[in-house]
Amino acid sequence: MKVKRYVAATAREALRKVKEDLGAEAIILSNRQTSAGVEILALADTDMSNLVDTHPVEHLREPNKGKSTHIQSELVDSDHVYTAQPTTPNIDQKMTERVPENVVSEEFVRSLMKEIHAMKSTMEEQLATVAWGNTTQRSPEKMKILRALLNAGFSPLLSRRLVDKLPDGSNYAQSMKQAISALEFNLHTASDDEMIKKGGVYALVGATGVGKTTTIAKLAARSVIRHGAEKVALLTTDSYRIGGHEQLRIYGRLLGLSVRNIQDADDLRLTLSALKNKHMVLIDTVGMSHRDQMVGEQIAMLSKADTDVKKMLVMSAASSDRTLDEIITAYRKYGIHGCIITKLDEAAGLGVALDAVIRRKLVLHYVTNGQKVPEDIHSANPRYLLHRIFNAKSGDTAFTLQDAEFALIMARNNNLDEPDSKIYAGAGHD
């Protein structure tokens, strides 16, 4: 076992060196501020495991002085000497005879490792809090931007990565402009009315109540206006709810379109073959929880069609951040062509939804903000959406972060990471 010493300009950089060298489970022994920067002493998790005696009861009966001396000598490095604490008194002979050795050993190891990991997490949080405090002092304008992003609904992970890309020395107005520009660059959107212009077969999927049917009616209306009713078709797979397809049929009658009910994969294949001359075919699917196993069955039915059925994920802007993350995770593994955000008029803000779209690198096609057909649907315009987020008038609420809460949240989210959530500073920058 070897205790290693790491020195860096900041606590965050020192922790990064520890993780790169010893791994995420490394044990932090101490940290202190030196003239060279922040110094951290650490050892590998495997080294700590080697310190645990696999037969503690046996050795409590017959202490091994040679082993203790050996362990003490291994805890010596160029800077510090670590000495073992006095051992505990011998356990009563009757107690040791009653308890099987392997049971005591397993419980001892579990208890020890649990305490070590708890101490490690606490120390990492404290180091991260110090690091964010130092950052606040060095770059107060960056911290203001970070606070604005968090209060707008963006996640700590995305906010931190974005702020890390901002140059030092800019004032608040310049930094905010650069932050919004970076968000705009990373928010991928389809070109204006791309679905309507290109046409094709689109299935709108998503949870119950997010507005799939109304959104289909809005898209159908726009397509009818541009290409005529004879070039548009509506299908529904919603045969589970009582009267589930009636709302779509009402919209169909108003637009001069018939609505066909699809029963299974064979029915879908035959129907799409008969509609191959249509410019646009829109499929309304059954709304269900993203945790329902029928999600996979429904997607499988769409995938068995000979025609390329593009799946559009419909999400409500009023959903929570964790709910959106779970929904995207559940559907993206089946292949998502793009997404539509609904219910902007019902959401307290748009930051949470756009954060999910940016981090998961989805293509946003449309947003909707009401029940009117076809008025309340709009092509996604990144600049307008971000302007709406950061120029909305809102006072302090129970959810507005204060200074102390801000540092704590950033510290606790310091180790979060997502492999596909890389953020770019803007065109031509990495």
Residue in the structure block whose two tokens are 């200074």: 403
Structural contact between residues 231 and 257, judged by C-beta atoms closer than 8 angstroms: no
- Contacts of residue 10, defined as CB under 8 A and 6 or more positions apart, other chains included, come to 37, 38, 131, 134, 135
Please state which architecture CATH assigns to domain 194-380.
3-Layer(aba) Sandwich (3.40)
- Contacts of residue 255, defined as CB under 8 A and 6 or more positions apart, other chains included, come to 217, 220, 221, 224, 229, 232
What is the spatial distance between Cα 372 and Cα 355, in angstroms, rounded to a whole number?
Answer: 27
Q: How many CB atoms lie within 10 A of CB 36?
A: 9
**Longest CA pairwise span in the chain (Å):** 92
C-alpha angle 423/190/149, rounded to 5°?
Answer: 35
Residue 286 pLDDT: 81
Residue 425 pLDDT: 58
SS (H, E, C) 77-91: CCCCECCCCCCCCCC
Question: pLDDT per position in the chain (430 positions), as tens?
Answer: 577 888 888 877 888 888 888 887 777 777 778 888 888 888 776 655 555 444 444 444 444 544 444 444 443 444 444 444 444 445 444 444 444 544 446 776 677 677 777 776 666 655 655 555 555 555 678 888 888 898 889 998 898 888 888 887 778 888 899 999 999 999 999 998 899 999 999 999 998 889 999 999 999 999 999 999 999 999 998 766 555 578 888 999 999 998 999 888 899 999 999 999 999 999 998 877 777 677 777 888 888 888 899 999 999 999 999 999 999 998 888 889 999 999 999 998 899 999 999 999 999 999 999 888 888 999 999 999 999 998 866 655 555 655 555 555 555 555 545 555 555 556 444 4
Length of the chain, please?
430
Sort strands 200-205 and 232-236 into parallel, antiparallel or unpaired. unpaired
Phi-psi region of 190 (alpha: psi -120 to 50; beta: other; left: phi over 0): beta
Residue 368 pLDDT: 94
Task: Give me the residue spans of the domains in the chain.
Answer: 4-137, 194-380
Whether residue 374 has a cis bond before it, omega within 30° of 0:
yes
Residue in the structure block whose two tokens are 């920058």: 429
DSSP state of 132: H
What is the spatial distance between Cα 8 and Cα 192, in angstroms, rounded to a whole number?
Answer: 49
